[in-house]
C-alpha cells in the first residue's frame, strides 16, 4: 500500500503480466505495461508517490487508460510521449513515401503530356500533308474501258480475245 498522496489514490501490480494499475485522486485509472517489479517496489516505498509517479512511471511505459474521471470527455484519448514519438516517426515515413509516389506520378504525367503533344504535332503534319496533296485526275478504270496510257490497238486485241473466248465447262 502506498502512503497518503494528493495525486495517487491506489496502486495494483500484477507480477505475472508486469502491469501496474494506477488510480489517481481524480478517479482516472491507467494500466502501465511491462513495468519491472523493482519500479513497483520503489513506487510503494517512495516518500512521495506523486513525485515518483511523475518522474519514474508517467511517460516511461506504454499506458492504457482504463476509465475516466467525472466530467471528463470519454472520447478524449490520452497517450504517452513514447507512443507519440513512434506515431510521428511512422507518419514521417508515410509522408515521405507519398511525396515520392506523387513525384513519380507527376513525372509519368509529364511524359504522357509530351507524348500527346508529339502525337498532336504528328497528326497536324499528316493532316496538312493530306490537304495539300493534289488529287489524282485519273478516275478508276472499269473493265473494258480504254485509258490513254494503253495504246488503242492493244485494247482492241484484248477486247476481241474476250469476245471470242469460249465459255469453260
Tell me what percent of the residues of the chain surpass a pLDDT of 70. Answer: 67
Residues 32 and 22: beta-carbon distance below 8 Å: yes
SS3 15: coil
165 vs 61 pLDDT, higher one: 61
The pLDDT of residue 59 is: 92
Query: How many Å apart are CA 50 and CA 7, to the nearest integer?
Result: 5
Predicted confidence band at 146 (pLDDT cuts at 50, 70, 90)? very low
* pLDDT tens, position by position, 82-103: 777 788 889 999 999 999 999 8
User: Given a cut of 50, is residue 148 above it in pLDDT?
Assistant: no
Query: How many Å apart are CA 116 and CA 109, to the nearest integer?
Result: 10
Residues 18 and 34: beta-carbon distance below 8 Å: yes
Predicted confidence band at 55 (pLDDT cuts at 50, 70, 90)? very high
User: 20: left (phi > 0), else alpha (psi -120 to 50), else beta?
Assistant: beta
Query: How many Å apart are CA 33 and CA 25, to the nearest integer?
Result: 21
Residues 22 and 11: beta-carbon distance below 8 Å: yes
59 vs 86 pLDDT, higher one: 59
The pLDDT of residue 126 is: 77
Amino acid at each position: 500500500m502506498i502512503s497518503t498522496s494528493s495525486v495517487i489514490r491506489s496502486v495494483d501490480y500484477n507480477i505475472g503480466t508486469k502491469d501496474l494499475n494506477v488510480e489517481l485522486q481524480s478517479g482516472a485509472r491507467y494500466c502501465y505495461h511491462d513495468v519491472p517489479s523493482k519500479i513497483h517496489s520503489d513506487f510503494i516505498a517512495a516518500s512521495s508517490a506523486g513525485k515518483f509517479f511523475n518522474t519514474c512511471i508517467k511517460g516511461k511505459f506504454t499506458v492504457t487508460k482504463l476509465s475516466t474521471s467525472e466530467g471528463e470527455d470519454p472520447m478524449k484519448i490520452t497517450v504517452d510521449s513514447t507512443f507519440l514519438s513512434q506515431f510521428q516517426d511512422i507518419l514521417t515515413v508515410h509522408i515521405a513515401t507519398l511525396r515520392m509516389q506523387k513525384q513519380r506520378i507527376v513525372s509519368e504525367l509529364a511524359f504522357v503530356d509530351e507524348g500527346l503533344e508529339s502525337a498532336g504535332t504528328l497528326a497536324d503534319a499528316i493532316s496538312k500533308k493530306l490537304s495539300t496533296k493534289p488529287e489524282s485526275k485519273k478516275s478508276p478504270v472499269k473493265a473494258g474501258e480504254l485509258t490513254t496510257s494503253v495504246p488503242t490497238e492493244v485494247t482492241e486485241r484484248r477486247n476481241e480475245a474476250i469476245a471470242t473466248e469460249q465459255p469453260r465447262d
